[in-house]
Structure 1
């Protein structure tokens, strides 16, 4: 019995080690974002991202780039679907200043989203101000991006838009951490951050195929934009920008051409697991 137990433990150890080694590298946003900026008149601004590194060429030449304007006339309505599920849970995380944004990166199993039976595991959340996506030409005060990755390396992002209004509860729970990182500029380890505290329940959301909105601007990213606009207090938006300590008052990429892509407005009773 003891030999069998030892064998089982050894097998499990090798199995989990294999998973860690075999997990594909993510074509993710650049970790140190000080290599580029958002100055539209400068040589490192959005129009020149594709020139700064060969592997960033999609930023200039890609035809499925994000963000886009979610215009009513372009949208195809899809109803009565059951292909989208969310299951988030608390996990340890690290708050990082990447040079142009604040990123909260989960280090453990923070849950997943499931689309058409494909699971995308939650990796991190970061914020853009003002919003990058627009609704019928309207830009909002803030946009949160929840970045997910499948075991095959595919990327899916959920976007949440915010208008100025009442404070956002999740950002309220993070306030002191933002204040501390603003003063120290060091990564901060956090215990058991619950992504379910993000309020994103909605009966409508947009779906399209796009890209990362920062270099390397990787394409074939599955975007889900929650249609219900949340609220955020002005001081919460300001704190996100102050904590970064960059020279810009924005970290929003300009809108990109749609190039005949299909944009869907999907109708559902709710987004499970979000509240």
Structure 2
């Protein structure tokens, strides 16, 4: 088995020396467990010629092993105090391109420029869902995504219909991607430790021929209303969007609840509404 050097050098140049103060507003919990880091890099398995982009490199726990494996990496970092530290730590390892920005403002399609991206990152848990939906908006420019998230979120992403945690996030992600939980990560693998368990998940956007043809905005609206009040039947939850007659015309019992429907059932509802 290949051995990895420490996640980052033991010392920084004087301009970046000193311990970084973790910022709660950025949701910073830095991974430090070498065994977990090794498993993540092995799961990503970077290959020559690929465009790798890491969201939130932090202090470089995943960044530097990926650089050693691949030689070229783009990172997106919002905390300007971390940028000189990661630049210093990566010196001599490989080519590191740094984008100082909020990831929610980054146009991944433009960044890809025709060469699809592979995304990775330990996402800030306080805005993980908006980041996921932002990435889905650029699915045609993305090969796959390997993200560290709160385990509860990963469980919801991969949940099956009928599960207590099956909901809007499950449906919207599964309509666009295959969802594969990979690694469970305990709080002690981070500094500072979060108050929750974490997990790494692989998201692979579905090829165009496997994606639904309904209006994405309409599907999203139907799903949002359907799960807005989980205890209501579909006919009650969707009365402002889809009539009981249209629900029946889509081959669905208006008396069932949203969590009982597979993701493609919401597509059928949207297609029925579109058909008038």
Q: Where on the TM-score scale, by shorter chain, does this alignment land: which range?
A: under 0.3
> Using CA pairs below 8 Å that are at least 6 residues apart, which structure has the higher relative contact order?
1
Higher helix content, 1 or 2: 2
What's the TM-score once normalised by structure 2's chain length? 0.24
Q: Which has the higher strand share?
A: 1
Larger Cα Rg: Structure 1 or Structure 2?
Answer: 2
